[in-house]
Amino acid sequence: MPYPPTTTYPSTPNSFPPLKLLDIVGARPQFIKLAPILKAIERHNRERPGRPIQEVLVHTGQHYDYEMSQVFFDELGLKEPDYHLGVGSGSHGYQTGEMLKRIEEVLLKEKPDLVMVYGDTNSTLAGALAAAKLHIPVAHVEAGLRSFNRNMPEEINRVLTDHVSSLLFCPTKTAVENLRREGFTNILNDGNLLPLPSASLHPRSPAPLVLNTGDVMYDAVLLYGKLAEQKSQILEKLGLKPKEYALATVHRAENTDEPERLKGIFEGLGRIAQEGLTVVVPLHPRTRNALCSLPLTPYPSTPYPSTPNFLTIDPVSYLDMLILEKNARVILTDSGGVQKEAFFFRVPCVTLREETEWVETVEAGWNTLVGCDPDRILQAVSSLPSPPRPPAPLPLIPLPLVPSPCDDSRAAGRIVVLIGQWLGQPFGK
């Protein structure tokens, strides 16, 4: 099936040739990270029509269910992908290999000036490798994160992507310091948050280049938080009251692919429900499939727990998820993004892993690591202060906490300016 032509921006007198940026996404968290970037590009093209960015969007199809993919494009107002590769699910090797082949075909056709990848999925790694092998510069959004657990496929993806990238856009100074320890030396502003509009790069500054731009997910929460409050009816739909339920998400392969770990996590969640706190679990498709073959207590008669105070529901949209997070009494998760969003909303977080790439949330006292032990899970929730804190108002405070300087919700804007400057257009001037 032929793909439609991508949008082009003709050169005009006294203008610069369009820069072609190719974004590669494929999974739910990446659509969220992409949204502020697309908004920043749209704003840039309106304000500087003589210095346009031609953006080409590639969706690998790593997530393909409506609830895991299309709902984000519909709800967040994202442009439809210029290319949808339709790779679908499969083993890590199959999925990454298919993406490499299909992304390479797109890159050979489009010949972008820069490829941008996001986060730590197989789509991230495949996009970075395909571009690097064709000698196309790679920019990595959310670079430098480390859990220091090489058994996690996400950790492998992060490390390899960073080491083939030319521009490493870090969300925090901790991420910058991780890269410094790995031998990266060309670090702008000594790893501190870059100021705007004075941030500047010389064209083609020696790569790899490490830059602290702030967190695009913080941008996204601020961008869509108020819209979520206006549109979401998820609390009414589920019959929930603010601060009277626990929200839980489980999707990491280390938990879903290990029956004993998954059993321990859901036993812990079941005990929380038995203690009287309603538990809400939007089920990732991988988790639902794993639970169907797993005997669970204290609700062994069903393939996965579902009782009046233990709600297993289909995946929810981003706007609904923001409302569920903001109003939860506590959030239990193995997701890095959800850990951050819990912090943004000042909701206590219990992380269902033994380590986290967002160490700042632990150091700040808002995140507790418990692994899959049911006793530790219950203890972490039982020890929460009472009464619960009210929902945090907007604007939110991002990572890291004071006394470190706070971000100002302009990560996407910084990234767009820096891309243009590095590629030779004086954006931000």
Question: What letter would DSSP give residue 25?
Answer: E
Report whether pLDDT(188) > 90: yes
pLDDT, position 290 = 83
Cis omega (within 30 of 0) for bond into 348: no
Catalytic residue numbers, as ranges = 251
User: CA separation (Å) from 56 to 27, 75, 79, 101, 162?
Assistant: 17, 20, 10, 18, 22
Q: What does residue 70 show for φ and ψ, rounded to 5 degrees?
A: -60, -35
Q: Indicate the pairing of strand 245-249 with strand 209-212.
A: unpaired
pLDDT, position 163 = 98
- What angle do helix axes 153-162 and 122-133 make, rounded to 10 degrees? 30
Dist. CA 162–CA 166, nearest whole Å: 8
Query: What is the gyration radius of the CA atoms in the chain, in angstroms?
Result: 21
Amino acid at 281: V
User: In this structure, how many other beta carbons lie within 10 angstroms of the beta carbon of residue 403?
Assistant: 6
Q: What is the pLDDT of residues 56-105, one digit of tens each?
A: 999 998 765 655 567 778 888 888 999 999 888 788 899 999 999 999 99
Confidence of residue 257 (pLDDT cuts 50, 70, 90): confident
Structure tokens at 67: 């609830």
Lookup result for tokens 């108020």: 226
Yes or no: say if 193 and 173 are a contact pair by the CB < 8 Å rule: yes
SS3 350: strand
Report whether pLDDT(203) > 90: no
pLDDT, position 308 = 76
pLDDT, position 213 = 93
pLDDT, position 69 = 60
Dist. CA 332–CA 198, nearest whole Å: 40
Lookup result for tokens 């890159």: 107
Dist. CA 285–CA 304, nearest whole Å: 13
Which residues make beta-bridge pairs with 332? 248, 350
Q: What is the pLDDT of residues 138-158, one digit of tens each?
A: 999 999 999 999 988 999 999
pLDDT, position 27 = 87
- Residue 402 neighbours by CB under 8 Å, 6+ apart: none
Cis omega (within 30 of 0) for bond into 206: no
